[in-house]
Structure 1
């Protein structure tokens, strides 16, 4: 959860959000 707080305080959080396991998880299902 610490990494979540870290990316939330980053100015480029929108970019980091795309690389979160949860986001990639459902995207992977759609692409598969």
Structure 2
């Protein structure tokens, strides 16, 4: 799970701003 999140966080941070990617990951983890 940690590795999966790290990959997602890296991809999201490349595509979005830090705050946006953090919210995106948070929402994604909650839905999973």
Instruction: Report the TM-score, using the length of structure 1 for normalisation.
Output: 0.34
Higher-Rg structure is 1
Q: 1 or 2 for the larger relative contact order (CA 8 Å, sep ≥6)? A: 2
Instruction: Report the TM-score, using the length of structure 2 for normalisation.
Output: 0.34
